Amino acid sequence: MPRINSPAELEELRKGILSKRDPNKPCITLCSGTACHASGSAEVAASIEQELKKQKLSDKVDFRMTGCHGFCERGPIVVIHPEGICYLQIKPEDVPEIISQTVKGKKVVERLLYTDPTTNKKIIHESEIPFYKNQERLVFGSNGKIDPKSIDDYLALGGYSALAKALSQMTPEQVLEEVKKSNLRGRGGGGFPAGRKWEECRNAPGEIKYVIVNADEGDPGAYMDRSLLEGNPHSVLEGLIIGAYAIGSHEGYIYVRQEYPLAVGNVDVAIKQAEEYGLLGKNIFGSGFDFTVKVHRGAGAFVSGESSALMTALEGKVGEPRPKYIHTVIKGVWDRPSNLNNVETWATVPLIINKGADWFLGIGTEGSKGTKIFSLVGKVNNTGLVEVPMGMTLREIIFNIGGGIRDGKKFKAVQTGGPSGGVIPEKYIDLPIDFDELTKAGSMMGSGGMIVMDEDTCMVDTARYFLNFLADESCGKCVPCREGIKQMLDILTDITEGRGEKGDIELLEEVAAMVKDFSLCALGATAPNPVLSTLRYFRDEYMAHIEQKRCPAYVCKELISYYIDPEKCQACMICLRQCPVGAISGGKNQIHVIDQTKCTKCNTCFEVCPPRFSAVRRLSGEPVPPPVKDRVLVRKKG
Amino acid sequence: MVNLTIDGKAITAEEGTYILQVAQANNIDIPTLCYHPALEPFGACRLCTVEITSRGRKRLVTSCNYPVEEGLEVSTNSEAVIKGRRMILELLLARCPNVPLIQELAKNYGIKKPRFKLEDDNCILCGLCARVCEERMGVSAISFSGRGLDRKIDTPFHIHSEICQGCGACAFVCPTGAIKLEDITDKEPRPILSEFNAGLSPRSAIYVPFPQAVPKVPVIDREACIHFLTGNCRICENFCQAGAINYDQEDEIIEADVDAIILASGFDLYDPSALEEYGYGKIKNVITAMQYERMISASGPTGGQLQRPSDGKTPKKLAFIQCVGSRDTHYKLYCSSVCCMHATKEAILANEHYPDLKAFIFYTDMRAVGKRFQEYVARAEQEYNVTYIRSRPSKITENPDNGNPIIWYEETTARTRTSMEVDMVVLCQAMIPSGSIKDISDMLHLSLNDYQFVNIPDRLFQPVDTEIPGIFACGFCQAPQDIPDSVVQASAAAARAAEFLSKED
């Protein structure tokens, strides 16, 4: 690959790439993001290649495996260009039809299209699907058009033009000012103004400075950074180089968690290609600015996503947080000024440089500008990665984009911010997405995890779940976090298992208060949030668990029992046969009875009992009625 | 320098110091568990948390690692601080309910019983052990392993460490006694034995030899000091508030022109290990008279309690063997002159401490020649349960069941050969001129007599004059003698030297 020595050469190269690409040439793009991968996109890919070869179309039709499209609920996703026809949930056996009908025949295969649940109409183009229509996919949108292993794809979309502009038309101070002006706040959870952080790092004493990409994304259910790094690694690199230029750093690190080998692989390829083009290394674009970057893999600990722990891990030590009274931008890796930002933050920078801070300021709320990528998961119809402007309400995200609660259930709460965040109940569902608004409501933006919960979710169990996660991930260095979380988890486990006592909640709140204020790092300091937040909005659920030994959501196994209503049971034997532990006794014409001593609360009988009978009931907080004496079934007529 | 207030008190402090250091220097007490002046602050226990107002914001920060700033307002005992500290201690007490330090701290904050399930750990994970091993000893034999609730102090791969240097610093700094050296290394730690306490107790590498030392200033034993052995540690330097520790100190050679010299180099004790038949060094309960002296002394290592070495039990039957190495053709021909009397004194002291105790003194001749010495010996026999047996025992063996020494001897007055089992034996070892006498006498061209004492040509009329005019010798270096006699000779030597100096030639 020829080395690009100036912005002019970049544009030449770009023109060259585009000239070789016929926009009207048929192109099949297949999402190969993590979720689609798990849904079998590798097999679909093989099938596409095979079919193209078979139909002798390999030269006439392009095939591109792209990064995550975001609509992970419906993957594997195939989009046929140039028409932009979007097919969902593709299996390898669908491929011949797609190629024959759509690619060659220019006809749509109806059954593979998206059906709007409200209008029942089929939608052809990806951008018109409500899931996508209501988003503003400024950062994430390119994923669908790029093969992450091809830098040329990125260049074809205008990639690295921001870097060229920064290095040739702006001074580092001007770049810094632009980012400051844009009010870009960190997307990793802290929400700290990135420009201010860059400035403090730039002004810190010391020649050698580091810039770091934090790709240790550890919140359960969050995979935005993963998909961004896997699907569009160059956007992150470009932002990083621009940031390094503004700060005066010549060395960068990308810290990727151990569990993201695909991201590491794609970033490695991206770095190599960028180096070959001279976009990394010495004298980038002939500007005199040098910059190199290394990839560092994590070792499987959530806590090393905390900035000081991450820096300690980069030094080769165990990833444990250290005091940040002296900011890491002053003394970070090897005690040198180090600027750490989240993947998404870095990926947003090229947009700000290209389109300007004023453009960015036009999106979002007063305190939170720009867009944010969320992983919308849980009890929604459309799970996936969504990018929305700050200020959009939770209701709009969950219902307009997410398609509402699945299975017709009722919305109960949405959990944001992962283990550091809290739940937001229905009464605040019109809250706009905004750093400060979410914090006021007792939660936080976090890195973008958004877990939707319905009436079948137990809030006490949710708090217990997060504390269990944190107890496992705590580094254990400081007493409040290590011992405090353990005891809070103990109390919560007791409550969910029917051993809750009067005074438990008060003790929980007391421990939580100390852990919040005395912990060494943000993991400990935010650990009480799930507990405090669920207590704030769902205290009655806690009281039910403690006082009545009742779980209103029928989740906590120790507090629920399964009971077959003798009035409704039709002795069809379905549940009897399906029970994995043989706890149900009965026979033809003999009303079935569950042996409570054997029942493991697996929920199978509840699920398999035919809806027209609905004879299986869950009880909580009340004793199970004894079996009826006369179990001979009297069948209902009609 | 910056100005700040702690609990309302206005203080000036050096920039870059931490709140805790400044507080301690101003006698303001902040509790800590993981802090150590010789180690980098760790910030793990959070007990030293204080409430600060900085730039208009109130925050809770740990004082051990928060640098002081201009205008900082610190409160070490606000309500928020006390509440949090109490909860931390309650949690620690639940983890380590049987650790005295935690019990004490918890009590001070009004915690009686934790409201949590109790465990039974004794490590508070303060990290002092691992940190001293890494930061000061440069070894890193132990470290933290595991995460969260699995966190513990361990060696790599949980096996005995090859690199542990057995210095015991970890066990020394551990506030709860949780560190056991045998868990870390196979090496047996060899304590540095205190010379002054005749090897009965350990001392550190930096030490004041004895309370009456002149000058009363600690000295560093270069052969035992970790710094001199490995280049690390230097912890003592961190503690010396006067900054008096100087590892580069060299021996000073002082040249002085003098006109008279008084030799008073004193005595050493003869090591009775040479007399293998007495089993010193092999039989645990056979000790030397000097060791006995330290044991019976109220300011000694056992506080005046007689605790026999094998099991710490108080002996009921105590034996003294005289002339161990003295009056012996194999070792020293002369009589050491003081042992009969000091043995009698020691036997009397034993009976005074333990009225049930019987002492047996195995003597050759009782040298009770001083003023009222004979009466003293008689009193010992009559009032203090001391029995004198004229005999020089041939050997001492050990009863394997209980560690009792058995003395085999011939009672010369009765002419019977017999044995006696006792609880402890004290060997009254010979005394010899101090080891330096050979070098000094060579240097000064003095001759030593047949018994290796400094030669006094005319003992009768010039008892402190050596062969060389102007050089005088007093005390044990010239003949075995006790304290009163040594004092007399010292006065004599001083007078002779003064007389000598007053002559003009």
pLDDT at B291 over 90: yes
pLDDT at A393 over 90: yes
Burial of A111 (0-12, 13-18, 19+ CB in 10 A): exposed
Q: Which residues of B touch A (CB under 8 A)?
A: 41, 43-47, 49, 60-62, 65-67, 80, 83-84, 87-88, 91-92, 94-95, 115-117, 124-125, 127, 144, 146-151
> pLDDT value at position A589?
85
Q: What rounded mean pLDDT belongs to chain B?
A: 93
> What confidence category does residue B505 fall into, taking pLDDT thresholds of 50, 70 and 90?
low
Highest mean pLDDT among A94-103, A515-524, B181-190 belongs to: A515-524
> pLDDT value at position A632?
80
Question: Whose CA is closest to B91, among A419, A548, A408, A484?
Answer: A484
Contact A490 B92 (CB under 8 A): no
Q: How many Cβ pairs within 8 Å bridge chains A and B?
A: 96
Contact B46 A301 (CB under 8 A): no
Residues 6+ apart with CB under 8 A from A483: B88, B91, B92, B94, B95
Reported as a single tens digit per residue, the pLDDT across A222-268 is 999 999 999 999 999 999 999 999 999 999 999 999 999 999 999 99
Mean pLDDT computed over B252-281: 94
> What confidence category does residue A181 fall into, taking pLDDT thresholds of 50, 70 and 90?
very high
State the Cα–Cα distance between residues B245 and B226, nearest whole angstrom: 15
Out of A301, A476, A478, closest to residue B46 by CB: A478
Percent of the residues in chain A that have a pLDDT greater than 90, as a whole number? 82
Instruction: Tell me the chain A residues in contact with residue B67 when contact means C-beta distances shorter than 8 Å.
Output: 325-326
Structural contact between residues A386 and A374, judged by C-beta atoms closer than 8 angstroms:
yes
Residue with tokens 């930061």: B135
Distance from CA of B104 to the nearest CA of A (A): 18
> What confidence category does residue B435 fall into, taking pLDDT thresholds of 50, 70 and 90?
confident
Mean pLDDT computed over A582-606: 91
> pLDDT value at position A106?
87
pLDDT at A627 over 90: no
Question: Whose CA is closest to A268, among A284, A277, A256, A283?
Answer: A256
Chain B interface mutation, best of A322, A469, A482, A483, highest count of B Cβ atoms under 10 Å? A483
B434: how many CB neighbours lie within 10 A of its CB? 16
Question: Whose CA is closest to A280, among A270, A296, A291, A289?
Answer: A291
Instruction: Tell me the chain B residues in contact with residue A322 when contact means C-beta distances shorter than 8 Å.
Output: 43
Instruction: Tell me the chain A residues in contact with residue B148 when contact means C-beta distances shorter than 8 Å.
Output: 471-476, 482
Residue with tokens 């003395």: B407
Q: What rounded mean pLDDT belongs to chain A?
A: 93
Structural contact between residues A217 and A301, judged by C-beta atoms closer than 8 angstroms:
no
Distance from CA of B65 to the nearest CA of A (A): 7
A60: how many CB neighbours lie within 10 A of its CB? 12
Contact A486 B144 (CB under 8 A): no
Percent of the residues in chain A that have a pLDDT greater than 70, as a whole number? 99
Reported as a single tens digit per residue, the pLDDT across B192-216 is 999 999 999 999 999 999 989 999 9
Closest chain A residue to the Cα of B54, Cα to Cα: A325
Mean pLDDT computed over B174-180: 93
Mean pLDDT computed over A8-34: 91
Between the alpha carbon of residue A6 and those of residues A159, A161, A284, A293, the distances in Å are: 14, 11, 8, 20
> What confidence category does residue A636 fall into, taking pLDDT thresholds of 50, 70 and 90?
low
Reported as a single tens digit per residue, the pLDDT across A318-329 is 999 998 899 999
pLDDT at A272 over 60: yes
Question: Whose CA is closest to A71, among A23, A113, A107?
Answer: A113
> pLDDT value at position B241?
85
> pLDDT value at position A65?
93
DSSP codes, A188-208: SSS--BHHHHHHHHHHSS-S-
What's the token pair of residue B228? 């001199």
Instruction: Tell me the chain B residues in contact with residue A326 when contact means C-beta distances shorter than 8 Å.
Output: 67
Contact B80 A483 (CB under 8 A): no
DSSP run (H or E) holding A423: strand A422-425
Residue with tokens 């995550």: A68
Mean pLDDT computed over B351-380: 94
Instruction: Tell me the chain A residues in contact with residue B125 when contact means C-beta distances shorter than 8 Å.
Output: 476-477, 479, 482
Burial of B401 (0-12, 13-18, 19+ CB in 10 A): exposed
State the Cα–Cα distance between residues A465 and A451, nearest whole angstrom: 13
Mean pLDDT computed over B422-450: 93
Closest chain B residue to the Cα of A523, Cα to Cα: B148
Mean pLDDT computed over A46-69: 91
Mean pLDDT computed over B237-253: 91
Contact B84 A514 (CB under 8 A): yes
Structural contact between residues A347 and A422, judged by C-beta atoms closer than 8 angstroms:
no
Mean pLDDT computed over A416-428: 94
Residue with tokens 């997410």: A402
Chain A interface mutation, best of B144, B147, B151, B154, highest count of A Cβ atoms under 10 Å? B147
Percent of the residues in chain B that have a pLDDT greater than 90, as a whole number? 89
Residue with tokens 């000073």: B252
> pLDDT value at position A369?
95
pLDDT at A23 over 90: no
Mean pLDDT computed over B425-438: 93
Reported as a single tens digit per residue, the pLDDT across B112-138 is 899 999 999 999 999 999 999 999 999
> pLDDT value at position B51?
96
Question: Whose CA is closest to A87, among A57, A60, A107?
Answer: A107
